[in-house]
Amino acid sequence: MTSSRGELRIDLQAYFDRIGYRGGTEPTHETLTALVSAHVRRIPFENLDPLMGVPVIDLSPAALSAKLVAKRRGGYCYEHNNLMREVLCALGFAAERLAARVVWMSPEGLDGPPSPQTHQALAVTIPGTGRPYLVDVGFGGQTPTAPIPMVPGEVAQTSHEPFRLSSRGSEAQEFVLKTLIGQRWRPLYILGLQPRPLIDMQVGSWYVSTYPESNFVAGLSAALVTDEARWNLRGRNLAIHASGGTERIRFDDAAQVCVELTDRFGIDLTGLGDVEAKVASVLDS
C-alpha cells in the first residue's frame, strides 16, 4: 500500500509490518493512540549515524523509510517524528512540525539560559474534531507513549508515566511538556507552537549530527519502550526503568554494548563500519 502526497511517498504496509500494527487505518483517536504505542515499542531511538560520522540531513520519506523501516534501524527525533508525520498525513490526519528547546536533565531546568531549538515534535489534529494532540515518538528515554492533549493542565495517563502541557509566557506562545516521576512534575522541553517547515528540521538535524560537542556525536544513546519498562542505554550503562524500580547494568566493554544494541534494541549494525571500535572510543571509564 503506497500513498502519495505530491512528491512524498511512503509504503504504509511496510511501516505497519515494521511496527507490528494490525489495527484500523481510519484517522481516529484510537488509531493515533495505537500507532504511537506500536511505534515506540518497535523502532528504537539511537544515534549511531552521528556517532559513526554520518550526518543526518536527508529527512525525506524515502530516506527515513529505507533506514527505519527497510534496514530495521532506529534514529532520533527528526527521523522518528518526520516518519510518523508522513504516516499520519497519508492516513488523513493533519500533522504539523513543531520545534522545542530541551531542558530535561538540565540542572537549572526552566530557569537556565535558553537551549537551542534542536528537538522536533508534532501537533496532530483528528479530522472533524479541531482538537490538537502532541505526538512525539522520538524523545529517547522519556518518549511519551501516547498522544498528549494540547490543553494546558490536562493530564494524559499513558501506559507509562503521566504527561501534561503547561502554558508558558503571557501570550501562551509556548508550552512546557512535563512528566510525573515519583511525586514531582519534571519539565522535558519548551515547545514552540508555530508550525515549522521541513528546512528548519533539516538545519537542526544537521547541527546535532555534526556539531563536535553534540551528545549525538560524542556519545552513544539508545532507548526503547516495552509494555512493562523503559530501556535506556547511555554508553556502557543500561537503565531498565519499571514500575517496581530501576535495574542498572554496567557493561565491561564495547563488544557487550554492541550485543545489547543488536539483541535488546533490535538494531541492525551491518554496513555501519567498525561500530565496536567507535563505541569503545566513547565509553566512559
> What are the tens digits of pLDDT across the range 2-26?
443 434 479 999 999 999 999 999 9
When pLDDT is cut at 50, 70 and 90, the band that residue 263 belongs to is very high
- Asked which of 62-71, 170-179, 227-236, 245-254 is least confident by mean pLDDT, the reply is 170-179
What percent of the chain clears pLDDT 70, i.e. is strictly above it?
Answer: 93
The C-alpha cell at 277 is 571500535
Annotated active-site residue 119? The verdict is: yes
Domain 12-281 sits in CATH at 3.30.2140.20
In the three-class reduction of DSSP (H, G, I as helix; E, B as strand; rest coil), residue 147 is classed as: coil
> Cβ distance 134 to 120 under 8 Å?
no
Between these two residues, 181 and 53, which has the higher pLDDT value?
53
What pLDDT does 7 receive? 42
The C-alpha cell at 258 is 554492541
Amino acid at 279: V
Packed helices 77-91 and 198-210: angle between N→C axes, nearest 10 degrees = 160
When pLDDT is cut at 50, 70 and 90, the band that residue 113 belongs to is confident
Catalytic residue among 11, 136, 241, 258: 136
Calpha distance 130→133 (Å, rounded): 10
Calpha distance 178→5 (Å, rounded): 34
- Asked which of 1-5, 98-102, 162-166, 266-270 is least confident by mean pLDDT, the reply is 1-5
> Cβ distance 170 to 163 under 8 Å?
no
What pLDDT does 170 receive? 55
Annotated active-site residue 258? The verdict is: no
Residue 245 CB partners (closer than 8 Å, separation 6+): none
Annotated active-site residue 136? The verdict is: yes
Catalytic residue among 39, 119, 160, 241: 119
How much is the pTM?
0.94
Mean pLDDT of 30-58: 98
Given a cut of 60, whether residue 1 has pLDDT beyond it is no
The whole-chain average pLDDT of the chain stands at 92
When pLDDT is cut at 50, 70 and 90, the band that residue 186 belongs to is very high
Catalytic residue among 11, 39, 49, 77: 77
